[in-house]
Structure formats: C-alpha cells, structure tokens
Amino acid sequence: MKSGVRALGVAESYRADTSTLAGAVVRADRVVDGFVFGQCTVGASDATASVIEMIERVDRPDVRYVMLAGIAPAWYNVLDLWRINEAVERPVLSVSFEDSDGLESALRAAFDGEALAERLATYRDQPERRAVELDGEAVYVRAVGCSDGEAERVIRAFTPEGGRPEPLRVAREAARAVETVRRES
C-alpha cells in the first residue's frame, strides 16, 4: 500500500453518561494528518449517527478507509457498519482485539424489550468477524465495502508493529486525552 493512503480511525473513552469519540486521520506511513471529535450516549443507540457526523465534519475525501475500534462502544451502543458505509461511501472496518463468542448474551443480560430487539437486529445484521494475525497477535475484523482480502491488507498496512492499527491507537489516545481534560475541568 502506498505510504500516503489515509484511514480515519475512530475510538472512544467514556465516563458515566457520555462517551468521547475521537477520529484520527493517519497515513499508512504513520503520519498523523488530522483529528475530529464527537460523542455518543452511554447505553443509547446514537453511536452510528455520531460516527457518520464525525466523518462528514472531518471532510476529507482523501481518506480511503474508516476503521472503528469495536462494534459496540459506549456500553452496547451498537454500530451499524452498513449504514456508515452507505453514508460515507468508503470501506468501513470494525476491529476488535479479543476473541469472544459475540455480544448476544451480554446484550440479553443488559437489555430487554425494544432496546434489546433493536440492538440484536443491528448486531445480527453486521458481517461476521474474521481473525487477522499481526505479529503473533490476532485482531478480529468485520468489513463492509471491501473484500476480506482487502480488509486484511489494509489492517496489515496500518499496523507497523504490535496488534493495534495506528489510526485506532492514535484515536484512542486522543479520546483519552480529551476525556481526561473533561474530568479535570
């Protein structure tokens, strides 16, 4: 992959009722090229709309890929990768860092009624996770808007070392920094 290819990584840091979302535009050669921030409500269903709004606000047509840290930020605020892809017209990759049996049992334990039905419907509609080995570690990727092979190449190209793609690592650090400032003020 060419060194100037850009991805927007979106990660979170949360407190009791809101989650700070940070987006970091990072080139494949690890140059950080911009930031955008947003928020979503812990335990709600507004994360998808918040991510779309952030991507629109960053207004970077040169960003070729969107990477999301996980599928359910802010206490099961389940992301709809299909809706994000349709809105921003570029591949969307959700990356998680732990092997699991999925979120269904956790969703059932935390919600019931319409809140549960809505989350289960969104969650079940997402593509299956696929393991990608990175330096002896595995990440788990869901891809919309590109093939599994392209998704794997993108993840590898943006992960120079360790097991976390650089756009997601930088976004996570930015979200934590903003959340720290909020707590201290």
Convert the pLDDT of each residue in 91-110 to its tens digit.
999 999 999 999 999 999 99
Q: What pLDDT score does 66 carry? A: 98
Q: Are 40 and 47 in contact (CB under 8 A)?
A: yes
Question: What are the pLDDT digits (tens) for 19-32?
Answer: 999 999 999 999 99
In the sheet with 92-96, reading across from the earlier edge strand, the strands are 32-41, 18-27, 6-14, 63-69, 92-96, 137-144, 130-134
Mean pLDDT of 59-70: 97
How many residues can be counted in the chain?
185
Torsion from C-alpha of 79, 83, 88, 94, nearest 10 degrees: 40
Q: Is residue 111 part of a domain?
A: yes
Q: Domain containing 87: what range?
A: 6-179
Q: Could you tell me the pLDDT band of residue 183, with boundaries at 50, 70 and 90?
A: confident
Q: Is residue 1 part of a domain?
A: no
Answer whether residue 180 shows pLDDT above 90.
Answer: no
CATH number of the domain that 72 lies in? 3.30.2170.10
Q: What pLDDT score does 30 carry? A: 94
If one counts the domains in the chain, the total is 1
Mean pLDDT of 147-169: 94
Q: Is residue 90 part of a domain?
A: yes
Question: What are the pLDDT digits (tens) for 107-130?
Answer: 999 999 999 999 999 999 999 999
Q: Is residue 133 part of a domain?
A: yes
Could you tell me the two tokens for 4? Answer: 């100037």
> 3-class DSSP state for residue 96?
strand
Q: Is residue 184 part of a domain?
A: no
Q: What pLDDT score does 100 carry? A: 92
Q: What pLDDT score does 153 carry? A: 97
Answer whether residue 184 shows pLDDT above 90.
Answer: no
State the pTM of this model: 0.95
